[in-house]
Amino acid sequence: MEEQESPRGGPPRERGGPPSLRRWTRGQGGAPGQDRLPWRSTIAITVFVLVGSNFAAHVHSGRVPLDGFARVLLLAGCGVLLVRHRHPVVAAFASSAAALVYLGAGYPYGPVFLSVAVGCFAAVTAGYRRQAWAAVGMLWLGHLLVAHWLYRWLPPEGDSAAPWAQEVGVAAWAVAIIAVAEVVRVRREQWARERAGRAAAQKRRADEERLRIARELHDVLAHSISVINVQAGVGLALLDSDPEQARTALTTIKSASKEALGEVRQVLETLRTPGDAPRSPAPGLDRLPELVEQAATTGLAVEVTTTGERTALPPGVDLAAFRIVQEALTNVVRHSAARTARVAIGYEPGALVLGIEDAGPSAGGDAGGSGNGLIGMRERAAALGGTIEAGPPPAGGFRVTARLPLATPAKETQ
């Protein structure tokens, strides 16, 4: 949004998508509880593998019987699963290496592949896909060499080459494990994206609400304090020479401050009780006579003209129109030496057109403005799909023209 430096507002201030998915590892946004070692599941897997391998030793009597070294390999392949959350790559390769040595030693087939499946599954879901595939590939190629070439020199004696159908089964098992792990990984990433999207949407709604409240407070306080400032100056100047006029100025200050406090309280109530209906209706163009009367107390005569067939305005458009007129008149009081201003309200098919103009000239000196008046008006109009044009007309002075569509566009969702 660009602004030109003018007496009616200073230059705009610069104001600053979903977060990247993190891997499911320790210190990188992993699932709750992954910092603790998975003792229970690892013990359960170890017991299953040991019992299943003993059963397999009775079924496959032609293989080397289980001994201490075999049980050490089984315990090592399962024990390394304790670090599968913190170091998934280590778990994948270590369990595969233990299984490969176990098979090369001629021990019977059985649930020895379960530890490999769990280790590679953890690596894939943690985001280490290539490493998991490499670990499985290492095991499969090693088994291929043992079963079809090295079996001549490895136990058991008199062993023959394994049937190729068995190799197809081992390959299918490996692919199935990795495929399931990939599905889980993709699903977890989808969940993470959905959570990130919901968090981003919640933050965006909070930012929009803060911006709305900031605009409301700016418009309320800027207008009321401008009136108070002008009347305080009048009261001080006439306190000795014209006490009655000074009393009138003080009465105006009291009325303006009371109204400002009421509107500020209404805005702040939305912070204390979010979602509740406001206790008093939001201001609209029906309160335009109040703005004219307040402007008159500062010595500014406001002429209001209405064209077109007057229709009921949507609440958002009505509030935005009131605030735009309020801010424009506040700028006239602050920054212009003009004593008259014109407000034109035009009801067109599908749009409300506002025109606020004064003849100038610009008042010198610092009026104490924040420079955000025109920015706030443009933001209000843009939120409704409308436009704001502000600048000096050819005849001099300053003019603000706002066009607000009566059908507000639906907000885009990401």
What separation in angstroms does the CA of 395 have from each of 96, 105, 245, 357?
86, 100, 35, 11
Dist. CA 69–CA 251, nearest whole Å: 99
Question: Does any domain span residue 103?
Answer: yes
Of 35, 31, 22, 139, give the one whose Cα is nearest residue 87: 35
Q: Could you say which of 162, 194, 219 is where a domain stops?
A: 162
Contact residues for 172 (Cβ-Cβ < 8 A; gap 6+): none
Of 375, 303, 398, give the one whose Cα is nearest residue 341: 303
What separation in angstroms does the CA of 135 have from each of 64, 165, 166, 181?
25, 22, 19, 14
Whole-number pLDDT of residue 25: 36
Whole-number pLDDT of residue 34: 53
Question: Does any domain span residue 323?
Answer: yes
In the chain, % helix, strand, coil (3-state, to 5) comes to 60, 10, 30
Question: Does any domain span residue 81?
Answer: yes
Whole-number pLDDT of residue 9: 44
Whole-number pLDDT of residue 106: 86
Whole-number pLDDT of residue 281: 62
The predicted model scores a pTM of: 0.45
| Contact yes or no for 100/143 (Cβ under 8 A) | yes
Contact residues for 68 (Cβ-Cβ < 8 A; gap 6+): none
Question: Does any domain span residue 233?
Answer: no
Dist. CA 300–CA 188, nearest whole Å: 64
Question: Does any domain span residue 213?
Answer: no
Question: Does any domain span residue 273?
Answer: no
Pairing of strands 301-307, 398-405: unpaired
Whole-number pLDDT of residue 306: 93
Question: CATH number for the domain including 350?
Answer: 3.30.565.10
Contact residues for 161 (Cβ-Cβ < 8 A; gap 6+): 147, 148, 151
Dist. CA 130–CA 336, nearest whole Å: 70
Q: Could you say which of 130, 162, 194 is where a domain stops?
A: 162
For tokens 């499969």, the residue is 140
Residue 395 domain boundaries: 281-408
- What is the full per-residue pLDDT of the chain (414 aa) written as tens digits? 344 444 444 444 444 443 333 433 333 334 444 558 899 999 999 999 999 998 888 887 678 889 999 999 999 999 999 999 999 999 999 999 999 999 888 888 889 889 999 998 899 888 898 999 899 888 888 888 887 777 667 777 666 667 777 778 777 877 887 788 888 888 888 888 888 888 888 888 777 767 777 776 776 676 667 777 777 777 777 777 777 777 777 777 777 777 777 667 666 665 555 555 455 567 788 888 988 888 887 788 899 999 988 888 888 888 889 889 988 888 888 788 888 999 999 999 889 999 999 987 877 544 444 556 788 788 888 888 899 998 888 888 899 999 999 875 544 434
Q: Could you say which of 109, 128, 162 is where a domain stops?
A: 162
Helix (H, G, I), strand (E, B) or coil at 46: helix
Dist. CA 153–CA 177, nearest whole Å: 31
Query: What are 387's strand-pairing partners?
Result: 403
The tally of domains found in the chain comes to: 2
Q: Is the dihedral of CA 246, 252, 253, 255 positive or negative?
A: positive
Whole-number pLDDT of residue 305: 93
Dist. CA 155–CA 106, nearest whole Å: 5
81 alpha carbon, distance to own chain's centre? 36
Question: Does any domain span residue 89?
Answer: yes
Question: Does any domain span residue 366?
Answer: yes
Dist. CA 101–CA 108, nearest whole Å: 12
